[in-house]
Amino acid sequence: MRKKNNLILLGLSLVLLSITGLSCKDKTAFTPVTGFDLQRYLGTWYEIARMPFSFEKDLVGVTATYSLRPDGKVKVLNQGKILSLTGRLSTAVGKAKFAADPATAHIKVSFFGPFYADYIVVELDPEYRYALVISSLRYAWILSRTPELDPAITEKLIGKLKAYGLDTSRLIMPPQE
């Protein structure tokens, strides 16, 4: 029953995020990375920082793993531990597709039915070691291929969030394993 309630809450949260993402006019101000290579982006990314998001409330050790699906879309597996690195694992599985050109890092992600939210990679290390993703002025993530990211790089990415107009005082930096 608890798992069913969590899934219902997740679904409702994602519907609200999708609706917010679809109705936000601010997303047009985000410039996606071009020359994007999905094959290089696939795999596991560690969440270094995020803006508060209801599904991720109380989650630490968060990762996102991307893999190809048989239908050509991307499988998105988000995982995190509840309250502590030894806490219960929480997972969500979604799908993603390109908003337009596959060489442009503007992706649409869905965890619930036909509702998709923007996932715009605005900064990507040439070696695909870290990424800055923005969905709207309220949702953003700093991701890394490793559980730790050089503090100077993290600060540079936070500066980019500020330049885009995000309130970085709201950033959460959850512990990683």
The one-letter amino acid code at 151 reads: P
Residue 112 has pLDDT above 50, yes or no: yes
Task: For the chain, give the percent of residues with pLDDT over 70.
Answer: 84
Average pLDDT over residues 86-109: 95
For position 59, what pLDDT does the model report? 94
In a domain? residue 104: yes
Give the predicted TM-score (pTM) of the model: 0.83
Average pLDDT over residues 128-134: 98
For position 22, what pLDDT does the model report? 39
What would the pLDDT profile of 11-37 be if each residue is shown by its tens digit?
334 333 433 443 344 444 899 999 999
In a domain? residue 177: no
Q: Give the range of the structural domain holding residue 108, as residue numbers without chain letter.
A: 2-53+97-170
Strand-pair partners of 66: 43, 76
In a domain? residue 32: yes
For position 29, what pLDDT does the model report? 82
Number of domains in the chain: 1
For position 38, what pLDDT does the model report? 97
For position 152, what pLDDT does the model report? 98
- For residue 46, give the nearest of 167, 124, 131 by alpha carbon: 131
In a domain? residue 72: no
For position 13, what pLDDT does the model report? 40
Which residues, in sequence order, are CB contacts of 177 under 8 Å at separation 6+?
61, 85, 147
Residue 127 has pLDDT above 50, yes or no: yes
The enclosing domain of 39 has a CATH number of 2.40.128.20
